[in-house]
Structure formats: structure tokens, C-alpha cells
Amino acid sequence: MRKRIVTALAILAMFLFVTATCNSASGTTYAVGVKAGDTADYTISITGEPNSTAAHVYFCSVVGTTVTLNASLILKNGSHSKPEQYTCDVAADHDLMWYLIPSNLTTNDPIHPGCEMKINKTEPMTVAGASRTVVYLNYTSLHSPFPYYYPTGGIWWDRQTGIGVKATIRNVNPLTLAVSWFNYTLTSTSLWSPDFSTTTILLVGAVALIVIIATVVLLRKRHRKGHG
């Protein structure tokens, strides 16, 4: 019950923030960058949820710009919470922006039609073992009449797919003013494969060389014994 309350407060805070900073005007075309069957796994840290260490997201369906996904928490003992299903339209305001935004946005693009929130920068980042281009939103500096109602922090998304890859989100309870945090980092996904980097190649080569040398030494020892 407590887990659901904390999660619900975080979702409500984000929904209020998005609604307060968007309007209906839009001149940008938005598209979905994921498909049904795609997955994403995260390490997470949620204030008040010390037993929740990771999250798994499964994208169930994509119809036009509407995406349905299942999200479940992974606990310290390795068990999974019951998946909860959500539906969002990436071409409209929605409260799952940390999981997904439209694909191929770039610097100064609104994250949703008519939003005050615009992509601050586009930059390279190593994500889930691969070199990716990500877009970043810093909404800490955005103003509102009651700033303590809304989350502050920053979110990074993979530009090509629109999935969230990193976030540091600070929420303040509007009733108690208690501060809570929601952080996540993408660790793996079916949307791309890890890079086989130069470092990896050198490491594999070094291991192979060691194995070859050890084999040669062993064969020589056996050969000497056979002629001893």
C-alpha cells in the first residue's frame, strides 16, 4: 500500500506539472519510437521504497501515437511486483514522460504539443552499453505560482526511440512539504545492442593470447615428459 501511495504521488506531481506548463498549440509532428514487445530495465531509487531496486518496462502495444506499457518493480529479494498497465499518447500531455516521449526530438523542441518544456540540449551518452545520442530536459528553472507543488530535476531520453535513460527527480509534498526523490538509470533494453568497443576487443584478444600461450606451454611440458 505504501509503495502505491509513493508512486501515485510521484505520478500525480508529474501530471500536474505537465498540465500546468502545456497548452493546445503545436506546430511539431510527434511520432512513437518503440514497438510492441520492446523492453527496458532500470536501476531505481525511490524515497520511502528501500526494497525497490529496479524496474522492468514492457511495451505491450502501439496504435498510432498511443502506447500501452506494463511496469513492475523488482525488489531486493529478486521478486517482482505485480505489473501495472498504463496507456499514454506521446502526441499529447501525459504523466509517463519519464518512460517515454516522442522520438527524434532535438534541442528547443517542445516535449509535447504546445509545452513550455523544451529540450535543452542534445548530447552523446553511453547508455546500456552503447553510445547513443540523448536529449535532456532541465525543468528546475521553470517558474510556477506554487513551485513546491511540482517536481524539479532533469531527465535524459534516447533521441532515436524516446525512451527514458536517466532521471533525477525531486518532489515536495504540497501538504507536508516533505521531500522525496525518484532516480533511475537504464541498464538494458531490447531496442539496441551493446557496442563491441575497442576496449572489449583488446580484452578478448588479451584473454585469447593468454589461453594460447598457456596451451603452448602445456603441450611443451607434455612433449618433454613423453621424451624423458
What is the distance between the alpha carbons of residues 39 and 42, in angstroms, rounded to a whole number? 10
Picking from 109, 97, 80, 113, the residue whose alpha carbon sits closest to that of residue 167 is: 97
Average pLDDT over residues 22-28: 50
- Which spans in the chain are helix H? 2-20, 198-226
CB 155 within 8 A of CB 136: yes
| Secondary structure of residue 147 in the 3-state scheme | helix
| Secondary structure of residue 4 in the 3-state scheme | helix
Mean of the per-residue pLDDT values for the chain?
A: 79
Letter for the amino acid at 138?
A: N
pLDDT at 91 over 70: yes
Instruction: Give residue 200's pLDDT.
Output: 54
What is the distance between the alpha carbons of residues 102 and 157, in angstroms, rounded to a whole number? 10
What is the distance between the alpha carbons of residues 36 and 167, in angstroms, rounded to a whole number? 24
What is the distance between the alpha carbons of residues 60 and 64, in angstroms, rounded to a whole number? 13
pLDDT band at 171 (very low <50, low <70, confident <90, very high): confident
Instruction: Give residue 228's pLDDT.
Output: 57
What is the distance between the alpha carbons of residues 131 and 202, in angstroms, rounded to a whole number? 18
In the chain, where are the structural domains located?
2-195, 196-228
Quickly count: other Cβ atoms within 10 Å of residue 153's Cβ.
17
- Model's pTM, two decimal places? 0.72
CB 52 within 8 A of CB 42: no
What is the distance between the alpha carbons of residues 5 and 111, in angstroms, rounded to a whole number? 27
Q: Put residue 37 in one of left, alpha, beta given phi > 0 → left and psi -120 to 50 → alpha.
A: left
Question: Can you name the CATH fold of 2-195?
Answer: YmcC-like fold (2.40.360)
The proportion of the chain whose per-residue pLDDT surpasses 70, expressed as a percent, equals: 72
Instruction: Give residue 8's pLDDT.
Output: 42
